[in-house]
Structure 1
């Protein structure tokens, strides 16, 4: 996403109008492929092509359901006191369906490695998660909403505004789209601070501090850049982490300093992190291992709030994630 910026406002509006047409075009292309893929399943007993085409179709129509649901609420519920809650219900219902379909079609199953502790019920929760593998952000958001009863506000790349369903509903729910392109400066933190300041006691904020999905190639490129720039301390950190990228501290510092009252959850996951490209993803269908999740929760009083201390604390947490993932991936 780093090289893709958000669409201009006029393009966003055109996408919102044209999305049903795009969904129909994708359907017209994919439906004839289904019987062909079904026949090929006689050769490929894992039915990978059939599962992949079917999953594409279902995903497109679930995204359209999200998109049309937002328009329906705009037409019927504007100004209603249930406006925010209705959008939360729409998103959670679609996430439920996505996870249920993913389990049936490609054996994508979320499994907890330990009991999740969501901190004190009268405090907001800041969740910092590993970023790797397919659909990890959806799985973590769904897990927080269904297990904790806290639909998280999410900090995500503004390139995702190219999807009008995600753009509409997450904008209305108050998530923050940070600039995907480099050179954005403090603009990346403005929305993060706004979200942190606005958290109610039962709210959660979800951040992926690595900023992009881990892959071996990204890790190698990052190490090369750090070596060229002579950033010795960060280079040592990057070389010591095998299964995660070094976390970026600015967003974490912004949230922790803005909300000293918030408890903190650190989220690791393993099982599908090695699926780092379309070919690897296709070859692994249906998945033979679950999306395994492990969490650590820290009371607000135990988490540092000074920027330098936060950086050291976050580095220690990511070293723990790396060790856990290395043992379970």
Structure 2
């Protein structure tokens, strides 16, 4: 297994190195460092809804970060995962970001699938058309921590990517501060196995909006690798490889590729062949001393050495998500010292932060 893994890595690296290095895009957007609103201002409004995106723009975000999956009729649906709702073995809710489980007309769409190696029973975007999905409403993912968001359950419609693009274009027409998109591609290999082409659909979206260029107000990322390489072959849009501190890209799991390898100097050299940046988990991008962020990690330094931008995810304002020195009290839902954490991470040299409440950390950005 080890030899096969090393052989795959060598072949992958050789194939990448056979292509010329990508030139860095020259663009005034995004600013450095950039403030991205994670699924919109998701700490204040239900994630990935128009209300969350509008709040993020109002609160000073430079970028709206969002996720896309494909519907049955190849519409780019703005949802964090293709599971619209999922159930535990006893029938209790495991995950619900829509009210689909409560709608009797869709009871027969419940099914069990394996997605990125995990078996899930629930309702999936690729089994619905966009007109059907327009009848659903969003629900809050973190209801106990964010009861004000949960109070809006059942009220806010889902969005597709074109609707978000139209909203941004309307804003940018009259705004002095342009806002762009950080599009995260989700479950592309799963969609491809179902006969859906994420790369073509996204390429068509970029082309339709005049954004199929390196200086467009758009960044594209994924935890998967092949979808980014395939997109690179068709588009000069700026690409970021997502990296976590465990496991590896789901589309390359069978080949044994790990994020640990990808975060190494060799891995960053490979990423450099198809991407302009990396988006890394806080604990991968920065080192800690006594619970506080103090310096760029070896992975972040390796990325910078290869000319890659580094954007860090995900900053959340509640105590539950903060390291101990940045907490206020012991209540998980209480807000901690989010601004202090943001300042510490920016001091490591990060090119961008991705946060659930951009307004709470806006003061860390000197502009």
- The question of a shared fold, defined as TM-score above 0.5 by the shorter chain, is answered with no
TM-score under structure 1 length normalisation? 0.31
Query: Which of structures 1 and 2 has the larger relative contact order (alpha carbons within 8 angstroms, sep 6+)?
Result: 1
Bigger fraction of residues in strand: 2
Bigger fraction of residues in helix: 1
